[in-house]
Structure 1
Amino acid sequence: MIQFTEKLRLEIDRALLDIDRREADVLKKAKEVTFLLENAFDRLRTFILDYEFKDEGEEILFFKEIKPNLFSNLIYYSKVYDIEINRPTGGGTEVKDYLEKELYRIKDFFDRNKTIYCYYRSGDTEKDRLFFLRGKSDSTIYRESFSFERDPKFSTCCDYKMAKIIANEKVEAFIAGQLESQGGPSDKAVPKAKLTWTIKKVFLIELIYLLYWAGAFNYGKATLKEIAVYFEKVFNIDLGTSLSRTLTDIRARKGSGSFLNLLDRIFIKKINENEE
């Protein structure tokens, strides 16, 4: 299962990067990406319907992390397309009001789904069996879904909600950027040139953990998830897999294989070269 989903994720990442490079129009990009992701998700569904999970842990991993992270991209680009296709053609004030209403809808979603949102933000695992195993249900969780999410063999009571939470965080960042652009140019504006993280993903995750532990953002009040989402946006990457599971891998290879040690060796080498 891991091999198939990771291969699919890498394929999606490459396709998204290609679309991003050649298509500047947000509306056209969102439409093309949505089509791409719908096809990819159909492939994922076909695979899972024929797959037997090894144990409950693997099933929880899929419905709590793998599927929501993949599916969140489809929800995100579908929403971006919807925002852009309905964007007012009037002046700046009209557009600003429209975007602020979209932000309010996202806040309302988080408020209505506070139980699962707090569970997602906290990184808790206590209710994993209830939320992310098929055949379970929780009447406290409001259910809404795409049509193919009604298949009990391919959904749990909360995996869609998790995907929508992840997607809405990205939509929130997108709208915030659009609102900033409505205010005119600024010295603090994000450069138009997009930087893409192209070395190992685990290195970026290691860096995120180090900065989180060091309290580098918002005087140490930024959560690990907030930092990760921000880095995904800035460096054009989907971190996808669970941060906690990746941390276990990092611990297993601690020492010379860590990103920090690699940077230290590069730094010392370059300093010595400059001195010579």
Structure 2
Amino acid sequence: MDARMQQLIDDLRTDLVAHQDKSGLDRLRSVLARTEQAVKELRQLAAVYKEDPVQLIQLLKFVRPEIESYGIEEGLLYHLISNQPIATPGLQIRYYEEELTALQATLRLHAFYYQYYKNGFSELDELYFLPGNYRLSLPVPDVPLTENDSTPVSYLFARFRAIERLQRFIAEEISRLERQDLYGVNVRVNHGASLKWTGELVNVVELAYGIWLTGQLNNGNASLNQIVRWLEGSLDVSLGIIQRKFTEIQRRKRYSVTKYLDRMKKAIIQKIEEENE
């Protein structure tokens, strides 16, 4: 990527940090204004590359979507938070899950383009990212008419980036609310703390199943998913699809299937023996 392109992105990201202390409509307006400023600077740079299709594709496939995505994300986030119900954690979780489903529906609506974006394909770049070469075959509500210096697919790429970041935000909020619902208090994890799980992730899964199967939380009423979310937040890890890691535990041949718990048991017994000597 051209150094000037990267500088535009870096400057925007740095400036947006200053808007994090703002909230509501004030934050939305300031982020949109700064993003629009970056787009204007981008147009000036695009004029330089007007006769260079390789650089122009880079600009409209990667740089402009990255810049525009922050404004799109902020608009989506504003409406998400504004419409959040004042309710119990369970009802708020349901609200976020419904919003997550709606975002996924948007990605499915543009499934072909999303797969092109997600897989980093390039075969149709000249068609998709050179202005004037392509128009979407079917008009859809969330793809606006683009300027002569952009393309519909470039805008879609910006929207995909914004939606992916918003999905991660919603997933974190659901995780936080599940912990709040689990304990009846708002448990916020300080990810800047010094404690972080640095062992194998499969060991956390083994621990999660052990806690769940022996009913150690909420009189045995805590679900496996709640326990996993709690451990992820407390230990600052992401376990992904734990069923896959549990399959890994089941397939252990050389060692005991409860290898980590066995190590814990052995270490505790050894510590007791040392103390008794």
TM range (shorter): 0.5 to 0.7
Q: Hey, what's the Cα distance between the residues in 2 that align with 1:115 and 1:167? A: 18
Structure 1 counterpart of 2:5: 5
CA separation of 1:146/1:157 partners in 2, compared to 1, >3 Å: closer, same or farther? Answer: closer
Conserved 8 A contact 1:143-1:157: no
Deviation at 1:10, TM superposition (A): 2.3
Conserved 8 A contact 1:48-1:154: no
CA separation of 1:95/1:38 partners in 2, compared to 1, >3 Å: closer, same or farther? Answer: farther
Deviation at 1:91, TM superposition (A): 2.4
1:186-239 deviations in whole A, cap 9, x for unaligned? 899753439xxxxxxxxxxxxxxxxxxxxx999xxxxxxxxxxxxxxx9xxxxx
Conserved 8 A contact 2:143-2:152: no
Deviation at 1:182, TM superposition (A): 1.0
Q: What SS class does the counterpart of residue 177 from structure 1 fall into?
A: helix
Conserved 8 A contact 2:9-2:66: no
Structure 2 counterpart of 1:181: 176
Gaps of 5+ in 2: 194-199, 203-235, 237-277
The reply to whether residue 191 of structure 1 matches residue 187 of structure 2 is no
1:143-198 deviations in whole A, cap 9, x for unaligned? 55576x521x222131001111111110100111111111125899753439xxxx
Structure 1 counterpart of 2:17: 17
The reply to whether residue 65 of structure 1 matches residue 62 of structure 2 is yes
Structure 2 counterpart of 1:41: 39
Q: 1:161 aligns with which of 134, 156, 161?
A: 156
CA separation of 1:8/1:139 partners in 2, compared to 1, >3 Å: closer, same or farther? Answer: closer
Conserved 8 A contact 1:130-1:138: no
Length, aligned pairs only: 194
Deviation at 1:25, TM superposition (A): 5.0
Structure 1 counterpart of 2:93: 96
Deviation at 1:14, TM superposition (A): 1.6
Q: 1:77 aligns with which of 74, 84, 88?
A: 74
Conserved 8 A contact 2:77-2:166: yes
Q: What SS class does the counterpart of residue 174 from structure 1 fall into?
A: helix
Deviation at 1:93, TM superposition (A): 2.8
The reply to whether residue 106 of structure 1 matches residue 103 of structure 2 is yes
Q: What SS class does the counterpart of residue 36 from structure 1 fall into?
A: helix
Q: Hey, what's the Cα distance between the residues in 2 that align with 1:145 and 1:4? A: 30
Amino acid of the structure 2 residue aligned with 1:14: T
Gaps of 5+ in 1: 195-215, 219-233, 235-276
After TM superposition, the structure 1 stretch with the greater mean CA deviation from structure 2, 89-98 or 28-37, is: 28-37
CA separation of 1:178/1:30 partners in 2, compared to 1, >3 Å: closer, same or farther? Answer: farther
Question: TM-score when scaled to structure 2?
Answer: 0.59
Q: What SS class does the counterpart of residue 184 from structure 1 fall into?
A: helix
| Backbone CA RMSD of aligned residues | 3.4
Q: 1:119 aligns with which of 88, 112, 116?
A: 116
Deviation at 1:80, TM superposition (A): 0.8
Deviation at 1:60, TM superposition (A): 0.9
The reply to whether residue 128 of structure 1 matches residue 114 of structure 2 is no
Deviation at 1:106, TM superposition (A): 0.9
Q: Hey, what's the Cα distance between the residues in 2 that align with 1:171 and 1:116? A: 19
Q: 1:150 aligns with which of 134, 146, 152?
A: 146
Conserved 8 A contact 2:107-2:160: yes
Greater Rg, structure 1 or structure 2?
A: 2
Amino acid of the structure 2 residue aligned with 1:159: S
Structure 1 counterpart of 2:210: none
